[in-house]
Amino acid sequence: MYSPLEPFVRPSFQSQFLARSERLTQGKLLRDKLPRTVHGAWSPPKDRRDPIDILEASNEGRLPELIPIRYGRMLRSPFTFFRGSAALMAYDLAGLPNTGIEVQACGDCHLLNFGLFATPERNLVFDLNDFDETHPAPWEWDLKRLAASFVIASRDNDLTDAEAQSVAITSVRAYREHLREYSKMSPLEVWYARLDMQDIIAMAPDEDTKKTREQMAKKARQRVIDYLFPKITSQVGGRYRFVDQPPILFHIPEEDFQNRVQEALEDYRESLSEERRVLLDRYRLEDIAIKVVGIGSVGTRCYITLLFSEENHPLILQVKEANRSVLEPYTRPCHYDNQGQRVVRGQRLMQSSSDIFLGWTKGRHGNHFYVRQLRDMKFSVPVERVSSAQLHHYAEFCGWTLARAHAKSGDSATISGYLGKGDKFDVAMGEFALAYANQNEEDYNILVQAVKAGRVEALIEADL
């Protein structure tokens, strides 16, 4: 029997100076302890916790009036349920054998947490873009969640299970092959590596695909403050205010609320480098509101702040609550005092380039937050009503991107030695992804029944 969680193998100062060939050999020897085919197995243990209990526990500290919206969004399909149940999969992954090799993990590595955004140099890149759950953990956990998400999304697009499994295998193969390439690079080369949208367009296999990618790039470049600002604000008494759209966007009526936010922004300022403090100081706070975002984040305190420069150029920052990672109970304690700092540090370690306004702060009542621009060419690739071929292309880019993210913080040579050059691991992960997709559907149906029975309340936004 394999231990569910062996002590992590962290890249030590000494191990990093072993020859690549030695680390490849170390990884290969791990197969004797944990054969790659073992990763294909999934069946729920007899003592598996009730999924609703885990979801309810993950609601701790959230705004209670928003929790029904979270459940309502999860009810739309097994895929939306999966997006909102990172805590449930973290619990399941922790009970499985793993190699013990640690990386900075995303923690919620599904296919819609990848996408396009702008670098500080205003280049458009494809990368991971959600780090609420980032934490050091076994590299397999991110890859298993990614592969499972492709099966679930493929089913959502009415693909057969054989097609869905093939897409999942593509994401794993891309991870394995590109990780081996990164293991040959210097640390600086890995750090500078990125997947530029212009390169993605150039790699298009045909003219139709090229046009589709060019259209996505065009849409992404339009998703900036200048386009967003007129849509969510209006002038009230000569001053701009966010337009209330309850329960998705609304103001807090508390008298002292604006002062508390101003204090938090001052604390946030201290998390920035000096030159970026100079930039932030050119803006003044004008308005603030709560804005409900995503699925997994619904119920956490998420604010948007409207700032203006001296010449009234707008800037909108998102101040998002950061709670403990869903991975932490199964790994080791976070060593940051502020969970927002955990998110920021993890994001900077995994991304090829990060938002210049990325920072963290703490509220007066002890809540932790991280701060970023609300929208800076951020664009999620649409995966609804797409073909099997399109999903395969997307899976390739996601696996490639995850490999680079893990190579920045982990021992890519040892992991590559374990994975090998053949497809044995890829096939095993395809089997796992299909089995876990079945588990996800069972858990989704448990939520459906829990809502019908009145055990939990769900609010469908279309009914508002």
| C-alpha distance from residue 349 to each of 54, 192, 345, 352 (Å) | 29, 12, 6, 8
Q: What is the pLDDT of residues 59-113, one digit of tens each?
A: 999 999 999 999 999 999 999 999 999 999 999 999 999 999 999 999 999 999 9
Residue 380 has pLDDT above 80, yes or no: yes
Asked if 458 and 68 count as a contact pair (C-beta separation under 8 A), the reply is yes
Q: Which two tokens stand for residue 232?
A: 């969510």
Cβ 324 vs Cβ 333: under 8 Å: no
Least confident of 26-30, 256-260, 357-361: 256-260
pLDDT reported for residue 68? 94
pLDDT of residue 7: 43
pTM: 0.94
Cα 240 to Cα 42, 229, 255, 267, 284: the distances in Å are 53, 10, 19, 25, 13
pLDDT at 206 over 80: yes
Mean pLDDT of 175-196: 97
More confident of the two residues 316 and 262: 316
Rounded to 10 deg, the angle between the 139-156 and 161-183 helix axes is: 150
**pLDDT of 151 over the 90 cut:** yes
Pseudo-torsion of CA 413, 419, 422, 424, nearest 10°?
Answer: 180
Beta bridge partners of residue 226, listed in sequence order? none
Contact between 114 and 401 (Cβ < 8 Å) = yes
Secondary structure letter of residue 363 according to DSSP: -
- Whether pLDDT at 13 is above 50: no
Average pLDDT score over the chain: 92
- Give the end-to-end CA distance of the chain in Å, rounded to a whole number: 52
**Following DSSP, what letter does each residue of 380-411 receive, concatenated?**
PPP-TT--HHHHHHHHHHHHHHHHHHHHHHS-
Instruction: Please say if the pLDDT value at position 453 is more than 50.
Output: yes
* pLDDT score at 238: 84
Question: Residue 3 has what pLDDT?
Answer: 46
Q: How confident is the model at residue 8 (pLDDT cuts 50, 70, 90)?
A: very low
Q: What is the pLDDT of residue 127?
A: 96
Distance of alpha carbon 59 from alpha carbon 56, whole angstroms = 5
Give me the sign of the Cα torsion angle 49, 50, 53, 57. positive
